[in-house]
Amino acid sequence: MASVETLRLMTLNIAHGRGLSLYQGFHSAKGIERNLDRIASLLKRTKPDIVALQEVDADSHWNKRIHLLDALQLKADFSHSELGIHNIRSGKKPLAYGNGILSQHGIEHTDTQVFGRATLGEKGFLYAEVKVAGGVLPIINLHLDFRSKKRRLLQVEHLIEYLEARHLEKGGEYYFSPIVLGDFNTHVAKHKDAVEHLFKYLQGHCAYNLYPKRGKTFPSYFPVHALDFIFVPPSYRVMQCRVVKTYVSDHRPVLIDLQIRE
């Protein structure tokens, strides 16, 4: 783990623990566990302090009702975790999944925001306040729609409204400005899409930077798109950022080292 003056963050869509296969329901419980072991090995090797995960199941029929975040917390030795459910369905084929956070630092407050009412394929974000050196770091773990640009833009507007409300609630200031990271399901060069829209908003408030500067994240076996990003406020100095070559999912993770500015 990084020292208290620095932070290492990762974002990774774990694709319901299915690895590179097309559907998690094709796996036995042992197959899902093997994929979780691979993800845990990646986390132990790269040693992030905070991990934002997308497509994380709590109680879903299609991956044998294994609680993925609980398993990864245990396997990768993280002190804290939080899961924000965006999809929930009861019945003979239950579903419960969303975005998760693993952290070596205490998580003081969380809030789950769901963009719609669908019980399958719904997106949203998990807001978390993580206790770090010098104060509390707000984290937004975000997953946007993959089908529709219009829907992605509406989802970003939902996030912007939420950030404005949190800003007012905190009396006009955070301990630190929030870090936003996750799976945006669109690339930075796509004109008038979600990444550009959110970046312009955040830069309008302070000098945010967008990472990775180079490197593709999807699909992991032959990446041609950058879909996974980390928006970093000026309260942090970026020491390095890289896309990690690994095949634990159809996405490659983005790993970033930050230093808290004095």
174 vs 67, higher pLDDT: 67
Q: Which residue has the tokens 């770091």?
A: 137
Q: Which two tokens stand for residue 130?
A: 């993580």
Percent share of the chain, pLDDT over 70: 95
44 vs 119, higher pLDDT: 44
Percent share of the chain, pLDDT over 90: 80
Residue 63 near residue 14 (C-beta atoms within 8 A): no
Residue 171 pLDDT greater than 50, yes or no? yes
Through-space distance between the first and last CA atoms of the chain, rounded to whole angstroms: 21
Choice among 58-67, 170-179, 180-189, 223-232 with the minimum mean pLDDT: 170-179
Give the C-alpha separation, 123 to 145, whole Å. Answer: 6
Give the C-alpha separation, 31 to 129, whole Å. Answer: 34
pLDDT at position 69 is: 98
Per the DSSP assignment, residues forming a β-bridge with 238 are 258
Average pLDDT over residues 167-183: 77
pLDDT at position 119 is: 86
64 vs 261, higher pLDDT: 64
Boundaries of every domain in the chain: 6-260
Residue 4 pLDDT greater than 50, yes or no? no
pLDDT at position 36 is: 97
Residue 237 pLDDT greater than 90, yes or no? yes
Burial class (CB in 10 A: 0-12, 13-18, 19+), 23: exposed
pLDDT at position 154 is: 97
Give the C-alpha separation, 154 to 204, whole Å. Answer: 19
62 vs 262, higher pLDDT: 62
Average pLDDT over residues 87-107: 95
Average pLDDT over residues 30-45: 97
Give the C-alpha separation, 210 to 213, whole Å. Answer: 7
pLDDT tens-place string over residues 111-141: 999 999 888 999 999 999 999 877 889 999 9
Fold (CATH) for 6-260: Deoxyribonuclease I; Chain A (3.60.10)
